[in-house]
Structure 1
Amino acid sequence: MVWWNVAFSPASNKAKPKGSDDAYKAICAHLKKLFIDYSCDLVALCEVSSLDITAITSQLNLTGISSLDLANEVGRTRFDIVVLYNNLKLEVSHTRSLSRVKSGNIIKAAQLIEVRPTDSEKLMKVYLCHWASRLNSGSEIKRKLAADIVYSSAQEFMVDGDDVIVMGDFNDNPYDESVHVNLNSSRCHESVIAYPKEYFYNPFWRSIISENKYSQLLVDKTSFRSGTTKYKQLNGTLWHSYDQMLFSGSFLGNGDWHLNENVTKVLDDYDFLNDFESRNSPIDHLPVLCELTNLER
């Protein structure tokens, strides 16, 4: 599975859409690489409109790939997500939109979908989230409220031992309160294994530190990339891990499916980085990928 903020059409009415023929052509090339080269079965994109979705799906032209348009309006704003998936291996359906009105503001918490492998009767519950931008006032409170809404809903499934995944652009890092406290996510395998119906496991703690380690010999390395997006903050941090995937304890040995952390990562190969770093591309986030395995299949 992949999550990717492609920055075509932010939900804000004040934001100018960035979709274009060249941008759609580029994203379709990336999507083909994800589905073919990376063998992805489900890709969720955010910051897209229904117009973007129509353009992308008409140009993608891949056999066996279906789409689920979740860019629906809620109040004066909208959700901005589409799910593309391999219909030969998965059945995907929309369950409900999670939102709440707080002091006249709509808190968009998540779109909940059900994912079922075609050879199984067991469903995975997947929450797709794009939380309030840090550029807007009151956004921290909105993100915490969104996390509370998602966790309260997810707990109903987790106590029954269901497989639950929360993925999205949280606009917070793994250590920030909305993700770490409100979503009850941990970097500690053993805590999640011991309390699988209570904690989410967050493998993207690993992404907050650069894989490149500085030394005097590192003369040809100019980038110490970490995380999925980059912008300047006054606290001295340029890189941020806002795009993450969280997994219920059932994926750490308490269920049929298992998270494969060797393949779970930020995708930063040349093609993705090239558009991420290009001034001619709207893309300002790198995608994140996970692999789930079941040895009996």
Structure 2
Amino acid sequence: MFWTQVSLLPVMWWNTGLSPPIPKLDSTDADREFVAEEIKTMHSQTPIGIFGLGEVCSNDLSLIMAKLDDKSIELVDSTDRTKRLKHDTALLYDTSRLTLESQRTHITNIDGKRLKVAKRARFKTFLGGKIDVFYSHWPSRLTMEESNPKRAQLGIALRGAIDSTMTADGYYILMGDYNDDPSSPSLAYYLRATRDRTLATKRDRTPYNPFWRKLGESIHHEDSTGDNSVCGTCFYSGGDYSQWHTFDQVIFSSAFLGNGQMTLEERYTDVMASDELKLRIKRERFDHFPVLSCISLRSKKT
């Protein structure tokens, strides 16, 4: 069957650092203004298709929406700071290409402790296809180290959430700040997110993670000036073995690797390290870069 591309849909994620899930917030108006301007700039360069946001609250989102000033962009405000388990994620999406059909929160209980697995939003594209988007912000390694078995349970719980809600065509996207690298057991073993496209195409339950490609320096040594290369998506100056991690990822179900109505356009997968954010990331509250990938929305060729 032959298909033709009708629309390229950018899929982005950014842990903004504005309103982490802690009792007391200390971000300033200047911080919020900076984030809103960065998102506006990204939107002008790469028009928003689906954009997941982490560490935000309703006040942050109001400013972002006002700054965007785009009637085609709608907000899914999934934040809630009224309870002990604080939710700090949200979605922006393009209403000219997507219709929101349903939402769901996935929580797991581990040894009496409730942990956030993901928020899910189901979209219908303007061509009729359906996509489940699971967006997550998992616990920091400062409070839950990499070897903690609860991290494995989060991967298992996310796998279970996917299996329990997956559409017949099997199109789903995972995005978030997992506070785990692509190689971490929670993602590589328990979620089963692979770097191997061939294996993913053979196994319906094995998603493909293009952010395995983003584990190292972005520029070759001989081409780098020393400060223009980035080595992941998250910077932590106190790292023992590396100051960088690739905690922020966008992961795709194997359906996006087939010859169907939606396909992954992997060449667009990247870390969106703007010059301004590069200057701030090592000395201010902002410690994550946004990440980008794209999918192609297609129709049958006549």
* TM-score of the aligned structures, taking structure 2 as reference length: 0.87
1:204 corresponds to: 211
* Paired residue type of 1:292: I
1:294 paired with 2:301, answer no
* Paired residue type of 1:66: E
2:60 corresponds to: 52
Looking at both structures, which has the greater relative contact order when contacts are Cα pairs under 8 Å and sequence separation is at least 6?
Answer: 2
Unaligned runs of 5+ in 2: 1-10
Gap change, CA 1:234 and 1:169, over 3 Å in 2: closer
Gap change, CA 1:202 and 1:24, over 3 Å in 2: same
Gap change, CA 1:270 and 1:231, over 3 Å in 2: same
1:220 paired with 2:230, answer no
1:125 paired with 2:132, answer yes
1:284 corresponds to: 287
2:105 corresponds to: 97
Q: Could you give the per-residue CA deviations for residues 90-146 of structure 1, whole angstroms, max 9, x where no partner exists?
A: 2235421000222231111000111222x2222100100100110014673332222
Are the counterparts in 2 of residues 32 and 62 from structure 1 also a CA contact under 8 Å? Answer: no
2:162 corresponds to: 154
2:250 corresponds to: 245
Q: 5 Å matches for 1:20-169?
A: 20-72=28-80, 76-117=84-125, 119-137=126-144, 140-157=148-165, 160-169=168-177
1:175 paired with 2:178, answer no
Are the counterparts in 1 of residues 37 and 67 from structure 2 also a CA contact under 8 Å? Answer: no
Task: Give the distance between the partners of 1:278 and 1:65, measured in 2 at CA.
Answer: 32
Task: Look up the SS of the partner of 2:269 in the other structure.
Answer: strand
Match for residue 3 of structure 1 among 2, 13, 30: 13
Gap change, CA 1:245 and 1:45, over 3 Å in 2: same
Task: Give the distance between the partners of 1:50 and 1:275, measured in 2 at CA.
Answer: 24
* Cα shift at 1:254: 4.8
Task: Look up the SS of the partner of 2:268 in the other structure.
Answer: strand
Are the counterparts in 2 of residues 110 and 150 from structure 1 also a CA contact under 8 Å? Answer: yes
Which stretch of the first structure deviates more once superposed, 102-111 or 238-247?
Answer: 102-111
What is the alpha-carbon root mean square deviation over aligned residues?
Answer: 2.2
* TM-score of the aligned structures, taking structure 1 as reference length: 0.89
* Cα shift at 1:5: 0.1
1:236 corresponds to: 241
* Paired residue type of 1:253: G
Aligned length: 289
Gap change, CA 1:288 and 1:178, over 3 Å in 2: same
1:189 paired with 2:197, answer yes
Gap change, CA 1:36 and 1:189, over 3 Å in 2: same
Are the counterparts in 2 of residues 147 and 178 from structure 1 also a CA contact under 8 Å? Answer: yes
Which stretch of the first structure deviates more once superposed, 243-252 or 205-214?
Answer: 205-214
